[in-house]
């Protein structure tokens, strides 16, 4: 089976459409979404509709949780919280109801999928370094755990940073962000896993970032959320 794993779309329709175009060229059997479909960007409804249509597996991200429970956004930045308030006002009631049904974790083919961390997923912990990864390995038993949340593609084994997936070890794989990369690379990011050959590839691609940014600037969303797309932070 070939899986495409996408995450952190953040209402960026231009990036999502481009990612799906690429996925369609990679002979993918299943698309898994690790959450944060919404937040920050200008097209929450369109992105939710497209993800629901294309993904059979979707887990809840912290921005989904915040849009149905605004109190969980108390530790968000001012811009992120403003985006949640705007998104809640603009998101359809059908999509709000769908979000309530999303699970925090999902497992298929002995692979775990979670938005932030396998350790207490509802606390939305970040995995930025090998020390945080080492703690996270204690919280799941599957060979692979896919995460998002940091908006940075990363790969960890129990020994620390890794450069490729092998069958001899366990791995935590961060697929990066479709709609708001933060590694100073403005290109969208997602992952492709082949469970037959046990190989993983991180895909990066340019997309129409100028349109995505300009659409934010035409709304009441904080302008910084558009500007940051152009520098990848």
Give, as one character, the DSSP assignment of residue 164: S
Instruction: Round to whole Å and give the CA distance between 187 and 71.
Output: 32
pLDDT tens-place string over residues 151-174: 999 999 999 999 999 999 999 999
Class level of CATH domain 2-230: alpha beta
Give, as one character, the DSSP assignment of residue 123: G
Domain ranges (residues) in the chain? 2-230
pLDDT reported for residue 123: 96
pLDDT tens-place string over residues 100-144: 999 999 999 899 999 999 999 999 999 999 999 999 999 999 999
229 pLDDT higher than 90: yes
Going by pLDDT thresholds of 50, 70 and 90, the confidence category of residue 216 is: very high
Instruction: Give the dihedral of Cα atoms 9, 15, 17, 20; nearest 10 deg.
Output: -70
pLDDT reported for residue 201: 97
pLDDT tens-place string over residues 42-77: 999 999 999 999 999 999 999 999 999 999 888 899
């Amino acid at each position: 089976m070939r899986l495409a794993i996408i995450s952190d779309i953040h209402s960026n329709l231009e990036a999502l459409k481009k990612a799906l175009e690429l996925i369609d060229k990679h002979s993918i059997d299943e698309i898994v979404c690790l959450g944060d479909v919404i937040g920050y960007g200008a097209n929450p409804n369109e992105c939710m509709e497209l993800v629901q249509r294309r993904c059979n597996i979707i887990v809840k991200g912290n921005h989904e949780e915040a849009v149905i429970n605004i109190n969980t956004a108390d530790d968000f930045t001012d811009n992120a919280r403003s985006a949640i308030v705007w998104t809640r006002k603009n998101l359809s009631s059908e999509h709000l109801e769908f979000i309530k049904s999303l699970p925090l974790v999902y497992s298929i083919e002995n692979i775990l999928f979670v938005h932030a961390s396998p350790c207490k997923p509802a606390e939305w912990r970040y995995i930025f370094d090998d020390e945080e990864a080492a703690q996270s390995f204690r919280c799941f038993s599957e060979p692979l755990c896919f995460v998002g949340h940091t908006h940075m593609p990363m790969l960890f084994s129990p020994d620390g940073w890794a450069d490729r997936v092998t069958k001899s070890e366990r791995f935590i794989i961060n697929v990066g962000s479709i709609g708001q990369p933060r590694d100073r690379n403005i290109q969208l990011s997602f992952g492709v896993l082949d469970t037959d050959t046990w190989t993983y590839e991180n895909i990066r691609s340019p997309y129409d970032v100028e349109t995505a940014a300009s659409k934010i600037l035409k709304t009441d969303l904080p302008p910084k959320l558009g500007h940051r797309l152009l520098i990848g932070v």
